[in-house]
Amino acid sequence: MASITFREIEGSSPRYWFLLGFIALFAALGLGAAYYMEHHGHIVTGMNNSIVWGTPHVFAVFLIVAASGALNVASIASVFGKVMYKPLAPLSALLAFSLLMGGLTVLMLDLGRPDRLIIAMTYYNLKSVFAWNVVLYTGFFSIVAVYIWTMMEKKMGGFSKAAGMAAFIWRLILTTGTGSIFGFLVARDAYNSALLAPMFIILSFAYGLAVYLLVLISAYTWSGRPLGDAVLKRLGRLLAVFVAAALYFVFVYHLTNLYFTKQHAVEHFILVSGGIYTTLFWVGQILIGGIVPLIILLNPTLRASRGLLVAACLMVVFGGLAQMYVTIIGGQAFPLDIFPGWEEKSAFFDGVVHHYAPSLPEVLLGLGGLAIALVMVTFGIKILRFMPDSLADAEIDPHAKA
Amino acid sequence: MNDSQPSPNSSNEVDEHRRNFIGASAALAGLTVAPGVVVYGLAHAKPDNEPVTNKVRWGMLVDATKCADGCTDCVTACHTENAIQTGALETDPHWIRKVELKDMRTGRSQSLPVMCQHCEDAPCVDVCPTGASFKRADGIVLVDRHICIGCRYCVMACPYKARSFIHETLTDQNPDVPRGKGCVESCTMCVHRVDRGQQPACVEACSKAGHNAIIFGDLNDPTSDIAQRVAGHPTSQLRADLALNPGVRYEGL
């Protein structure tokens, strides 16, 4: 392999500034929406006392899960020693860092009391999965920052493998923590499963790689740098494996629930009678987020088209958001069964499917989180050397047959 | 040795004085403390300067057979006591609600109040990242409003739908029951009343209505009405499968 030169993008064209401004506008709208929600209270959102986690959580959890997955490309280089992935690693680490920042911003701004962030950082109930996550997030930032340093500073290059290994292990623990936020909720039928932790890890592989590919293709196309088919073919095939694995986990999760009689009601709700949740599950999560991208990524003719590859990645992202919506909001919409065997009715909506419709501020806050991540990446590649000059086939692997 | 040692007689006099003084002081002290001790014994009121003790486990027993269909006196009393404005919106807070039940096989119907079950192993306490959800030594589960960040994880974790998130600015609060926008809250078992030796508002209202469907007391005190009822009658816990050992028990369910 020829020696790879990393260089900042020039980022002086009007097109660059327009792009940065456009994304920053969404970030600003998100912050504005958060201010509006904080000022008026959550009454201006679609959330209520039955569905307390809404659209901001859908975006936040998606971004946090995608963050750890985006680091995978770097891990393949450092931990598994795949030379071809080495030039791809710094961008992967930057994206991971940025996505986590975006996700956490949304999560924090959706708190009832975002002004008490300092309390969340200084008071720990060590039995709380949330508290574990606070530690895992801060640890992830630190470890990835060090990892980036070892990759960018020649003198530190020797520590790169160790830092990569630490980051890899940490990200697995982090996503276990994210999945366990739901998996440890014993009271709710839709959660309460140890399977959620490994499932979230697999989902993170798929979401993270899809976002990485989108960023990679956009950055190289818009900056006019060469990007060969060899890299895309390899990453595309890997994405197919991850999407298939994600589908497998979803299948096993529902199969287990379908076998347990007491879980039949919640399964019927999600798979058959849940209205928007059922539609989002079958059409959003399974068809658009799973089967169609899989067909594209596994078919040699289809995946050769860069446009279709981008489409497949966008579909995985959309499917991921649909999956988070079904999991987080659908899981709460299904009523708690406090009196098994009895029909329940009350002024507090016991025993009925709960209603939720996302409000504009919630959607803006969620998109704002994504925008914050993209602003960080767009600006990051301008000021530091995250991207190789060229990822043309000849540079990356002279023997590659694209 | 002291040369000016008093004569045996004068020493006896002094001792006499001392004894009288100590006796009088003890009597006075006794008189001062006695009413408190008596009141404490009667009503378990806890003086403000004494910590809460785990010798007591406050609990409630709901007798579903006595709970009258359509009566919502307990709910109204709770709302009045805690200054809760609630309505028909899903964003409105509910600390206690009447649940109408219908047996899916036999069609038999029943109604009963459901509130925070004050679990011994409360899931809301487990999941709270900052420790704002906490259990007092006497078993009452509360939210520390100074450190609640409004993450709503406790609402997700509660199996009883007992918690409410405050969606908008509140007005006309009861100074004894501080609440606020952006925090989570639930039934406090009227802790401000219990600490004064009174009963929770819902219990008092139910008794005033003549139903006596909710009794309140110390589950740890074998002589208490509630402990004897729980010991002598078949009672049940909601979601007993979760093994949370709630402080609220149900009879006749």
Tens digit of each residue's pLDDT (9 = 90 or more) over A266-298: 999 999 999 999 999 999 999 999 999 999 999
Contact flag A119-B130 (C-beta cutoff 8 Å): yes
Contact flag A112-B91 (C-beta cutoff 8 Å): no
pLDDT band of residue A158 (cuts 50, 70, 90) is: confident
Q: What is the mean pLDDT of residues A107-135?
A: 95
Q: What is the mean pLDDT of residues A254-275?
A: 96
How near does any CA of chain B get to the CA of A104, in Å? 13
Q: CA nearest A297: which of A284, A280, A283, A316?
A: A316
Q: Residues A257, A227: contact at Cβ < 8 Å? A: no
What's phi and psi for A159, nearest 5 deg?
A: -90, 0
Best residue in A350, A355, A356 for a mutation probing chain B (most B CBs within 10 Å): A350
Given a cut of 70, is residue A95 above it in pLDDT?
yes
Supply A382's token pair: 């301008």
Residue-averaged pLDDT of chain A: 95
Q: Which residues in chain B are classed under CATH 3.30.70.20?
A: 58-251
Looking at residue B51, its pLDDT comes to 86
Best residue in A334, A342, A359 for a mutation probing chain B (most B CBs within 10 Å): A342
Looking at residue A310, its pLDDT comes to 98
Contact flag B126-A127 (C-beta cutoff 8 Å): yes
B105 touches chain A (CB under 8 A): yes
Given a cut of 80, is residue A311 above it in pLDDT?
yes
Q: Which amino acid is residue A256, in one-letter code?
A: T
Bigger pLDDT: A155 or A402?
A155
Q: What is the mean pLDDT of residues A93-104?
A: 98
Cα distance between residue A273 and residue A279, in whole Å: 9
Contacts of B50 (CB under 8 A, 6+ apart): none
Q: Strand B248-251 to strand B58-63: parallel, antiparallel, or no bridges (unpaired)?
A: parallel
List chain A residues with CB under 8 Å of B155.
49, 52
pTM, full prediction: 0.91
List chain A residues with CB under 8 Å of B150.
111-113, 116
Backbone Cα Rg of chain B: 25
Cα distance between residue A255 and residue A260, in whole Å: 9
Residue of B nearest to A356 (CA): B90
Q: Strand B214-218 to strand B235-236: parallel, antiparallel, or no bridges (unpaired)?
A: unpaired
Distances (CA, A) of A176 to A171, A186, B61: 8, 17, 40
B159 touches chain A (CB under 8 A): yes
A345 touches chain B (CB under 8 A): yes
Cα distance between residue A339 and residue A345, in whole Å: 11
Looking at residue B6, its pLDDT comes to 45
Contact flag A125-B114 (C-beta cutoff 8 Å): no
List chain A residues with CB under 8 Å of B153.
128, 130, 181
Domains with residue ranges and CATH for chain A: 14-336+361-394 (1.20.1630.10)
How near does any CA of chain B get to the CA of A17, in Å? 36
List chain A residues with CB under 8 Å of B165.
42, 47, 49, 52, 112
Looking at residue A307, its pLDDT comes to 96
Residue of B nearest to A119 (CA): B147
Looking at residue B219, its pLDDT comes to 97
Contact flag A338-B161 (C-beta cutoff 8 Å): yes
List chain A residues with CB under 8 Å of B104.
341-343
Best residue in A44, A52, A121, A336 for a mutation probing chain B (most B CBs within 10 Å): A52
Domain B58-251 has CATH 3.90.1210.10: no
List chain B residues with CB under 8 Å of A347.
75, 88, 94, 97-98
Q: What is the mean pLDDT of residues A184-197?
A: 93
How near does any CA of chain B get to the CA of A101, in Å? 18
Q: What is the mean pLDDT of residues A304-314?
A: 96
Backbone Cα Rg of chain A: 21
How near does any CA of chain A get to the CA of B165, in Å? 6
- Tell me which long-range contacts B235-243 makes (C-beta under 8 A, separation of at least 24): B235/B61, B237/B117, B238/A338, B238/A339, B238/B114, B238/B117, B238/B159, B238/B160, B239/A187, B239/A338, B239/B159, B239/B160, B242/A186, B242/A187, B242/B123, B242/B159, B243/B121
On the 0-12 / 13-18 / 19+ scale of CB atoms within 10 A, A373 is buried
List chain B residues with CB under 8 Å of A52.
152, 155-156, 165
Of A41, A124, A343, the CB nearest to B181: A41
Regions of chain B with pLDDT less than 70: 1-45
Contact flag A341-B105 (C-beta cutoff 8 Å): yes
